[in-house]
């Protein structure tokens, strides 16, 4: 026979109380109040806020935005600009940061003369940022996609040459992730904080510009490669940027030369071009680069990089909360002065302006627009806050990823070969 233990105990307890004498504790004539609890509960620490997908927490972002708001107009306007420059001297990029208040620099092939020289550029730029009173690093960036678009490779110094990113299409995620992590370690050992990669474009038969820079003509295959690459760069402590939103791979005009038009509907874009971008955002990409692409379904005649509708889609539909960066503002797809383009991009929703043709003029244009009221300071503070939070997070991520040294440069051949042969 199965006994119901709680019921048996309850009956026993009732019999025990019935036997209690009146006036004794527990007796039926004198119900007892519970003894008051005089102990003070231990204070509980507030739980750590969860990180956003791209790394910082909302608290980090709020603090960074407050720090951006404390900057004067010139400092804040400069913070959101990444400049290109001439020559190989470390003094030039350092002065752009110290004297022009710019957020960082992008190195191209002519700026590279070997490992020691690139390291000097990075060290001088970071020293300039510290001298300017910043507690966040300068952005020292390159385009290292692999293949022909690789500023630091065996062609320019002791770095490993990686295959075009097309090799990542169909490869095992672990192979892609390790290859990009190995590339990232080489970059960080060289003083580079940021890589404008991976390409998330899905190629099509009319492609005029992307080619083997794209991982695949299959959107799902491209998505796998983009996700793995974003994770690999994060593992190495290097910032990544997926590009060129909402997709340049099916366009018949190269935006370096003129403005291409994307006539597909939003539904068509969602079924193809946007799939890898969605994967990259979910993987924690800290930056999304907006291309100079006229998306007729969003904003007829306007490049996505200057279109509020494009930034709204990125934020509202893809849920991206990181740094939205423009493609190079010195490209042939755009018309107008550096000042005009800069103001238009920030008003539209850009957080970071990449390589205006005249970076100081772009900064001055932003300052003038603030003074006239054309540009709301809250919009620029929002942009600057995201940039500061991202750069601080990269600094911490680099520490967490472990030390790097000159010995890491050129050490990625095995990972590169595995990707090439996958």
Q: What is the 3-state secondary structure (H, E, C) of 169-236?
A: CCCCHHHHHHHHHHHHHHHHHCCCCEECCCECCECCCCCCCCHHHCCECCHHHHHHHHHHHHHHHHHH
Domain presence at residue 53: no
Domain presence at residue 324: yes
What is the C-alpha to C-alpha distance for residues 52 and 171, in angstroms, rounded to an integer? 28
Cβ neighbours around 141 below 10 Å, total: 25
Q: Is 17 helix (H, G, I), strand (E, B) or coil?
A: helix
Q: Are strands 144-146 and 323-326 parallel, antiparallel or unpaired?
A: unpaired
What is the C-alpha to C-alpha distance for residues 82 and 304, in angstroms, rounded to an integer? 19
* Alpha helix stretches (DSSP H) within 316-358: 338-348
Q: Determine which one of 201, 327, 351, 408 is catalytic.
A: 327
The residue ranges of the chain whose pLDDT is under 50 are 1-31
CATH code, domain with 149: 3.20.20.300
Specify which residues 289 forms β-bridges with.
Answer: 243, 325
Q: What integer pLDDT is reported at residue 23 of this predicted model?
A: 41
Q: What integer pLDDT is reported at residue 6 of this predicted model?
A: 38
Cβ–Cβ under 8 Å, residues 13 and 242: no
- The C-alpha R_g of the chain, in whole angstroms, comes to 28
User: Is 292 a residue of the active site?
Assistant: no
Q: Which domain holds residue 343?
A: 58-401
Residue 409, CB-side half-sphere exposure with 13 Å CA sphere:
20
Report long-range pairs for 374-378 (Cβ below 8 Å, ≥24 apart): 374/343, 374/347, 375/343, 375/346, 375/347, 377/69, 377/73, 377/76
CA distances for 362 relative to 65, 157, 413, angstroms: 21, 33, 40
Q: Determine which one of 99, 135, 256, 406 is catalytic.
A: 256
Q: What integer pLDDT is reported at residue 32 of this predicted model?
A: 52
What is the C-alpha to C-alpha distance for residues 419 and 422, in angstroms, rounded to an integer? 5
Q: Identify the burial level of 130 via C-beta atoms within 10 angstroms of its C-beta, where 0-12 means exposed, 13-18 middle and 19 or more buried.
A: middle
Element (H, E) at 144: strand 144-146
Q: What integer pLDDT is reported at residue 38 of this predicted model?
A: 52
Tens of pLDDT, residues 183-194:
999 999 999 999
Residue 349 Ramachandran class (φ > 0 left, ψ -120 to 50 alpha, else beta): left
Q: Extract the runs of DSSP E, i.e. beta strands, from 291-358.
A: 294-295, 323-326, 353-354
What is the C-alpha to C-alpha distance for residues 179 and 243, in angstroms, rounded to an integer? 19
Domain presence at residue 8: no
Cβ–Cβ under 8 Å, residues 241 and 184: no
Domain presence at residue 208: yes
What is the C-alpha to C-alpha distance for residues 136 and 129, in angstroms, rounded to an integer? 8
The tally of domains found in the chain comes to 1
Q: What integer pLDDT is reported at residue 48 of this predicted model?
A: 72
Domain presence at residue 416: no
What is the C-alpha to C-alpha distance for residues 29 and 15, in angstroms, rounded to an integer? 16
What is the C-alpha to C-alpha distance for residues 164 and 198, in angstroms, rounded to an integer? 11
Domain presence at residue 185: yes
Cβ–Cβ under 8 Å, residues 120 and 112: no
User: Is 327 a residue of the active site?
Assistant: yes
Cβ–Cβ under 8 Å, residues 146 and 162: yes
Domain presence at residue 320: yes
Domain presence at residue 36: no
What is the C-alpha to C-alpha distance for residues 234 and 286, in angstroms, rounded to an integer? 9
What is the C-alpha to C-alpha distance for residues 218 and 220, in angstroms, rounded to an integer? 6
């Amino acid at each position: 026979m199965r006994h119901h233990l709680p019921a048996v105990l309850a009956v026993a307890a009732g019999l025990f109380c019935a036997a209690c004498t009146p006036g004794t504790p527990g007796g039926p004539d004198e119900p007892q109040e519970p003894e008051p609890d005089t102990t003070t509960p231990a204070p509980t620490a507030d739980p750590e806020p969860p990180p956003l997908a791209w790394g910082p927490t909302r608290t980090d972002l709020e603090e960074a935005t407050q720090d951006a708001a404390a900057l004067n107009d010139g400092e804040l306007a400069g913070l959101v600009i990444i400049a290109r420059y001439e020559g190989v001297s470390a003094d030039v990029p350092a002065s752009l940061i110290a004297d022009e208040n710019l957020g960082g620099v992008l190195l191209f092939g002519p700026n590279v003369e070997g490992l020691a020289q690139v390291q000097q550029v990075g060290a001088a730029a970071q020293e300039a940022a510290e001298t300017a009173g910043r507690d966040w690093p300068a952005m020292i960036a390159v385009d290292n996609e692999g293949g022909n678009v690789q500023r630091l490779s065996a062609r320019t110094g002791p770095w490993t040459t990686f295959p075009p990113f097309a090799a990542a299409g169909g490869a095992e995620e672990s192979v892609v992730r390790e290859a990009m992590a190995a590339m990232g370690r080489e970059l960080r050992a060289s003083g580079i904080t940021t890589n404008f990669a991976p390409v998330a474009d899905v190629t099509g038969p009319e492609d005029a510009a992307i080619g083997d820079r794209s991982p695949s003509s299959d959107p799902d295959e491209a998505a796998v490669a983009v996700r793995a690459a974003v994770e690999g760069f994060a593992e190495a402590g290097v910032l990544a940027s997926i590009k060129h939103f909402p997709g340049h791979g099916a366009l018949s005009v190269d935006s370096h030369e003129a403005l291409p038009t994307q006539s597909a509907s939003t539904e068509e874009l969602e079924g193809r071009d946007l799939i890898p971008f969605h994967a990259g955002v979910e993987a924690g990409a800290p930056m999304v680069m907006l291309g100079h692409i006229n998306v007729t379904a969003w904003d007829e005649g306007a490049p996505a990089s200057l279109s509020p509708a494009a930034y709204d889609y990125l934020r509202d539909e893809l849920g991206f909360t990181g740094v939205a960066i423009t493609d190079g503002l010195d490209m042939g797809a755009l018309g107008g002065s550096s000042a005009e383009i800069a103001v238009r991009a920030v008003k539209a929703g850009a957080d970071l302006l990449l390589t205006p043709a005249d970076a100081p003029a772009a900064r001055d244009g932003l300052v003038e627009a603030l003074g006239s009221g054309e540009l709301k300071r809250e919009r620029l503070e929002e942009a600057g806050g995201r940039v500061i939070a991202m750069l601080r997070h990269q600094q911490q991520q680099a520490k967490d990823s472990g030390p790097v040294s000159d010995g890491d440069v050129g050490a990625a051949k095995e990972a590169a070969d595995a990707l090439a042969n996958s």
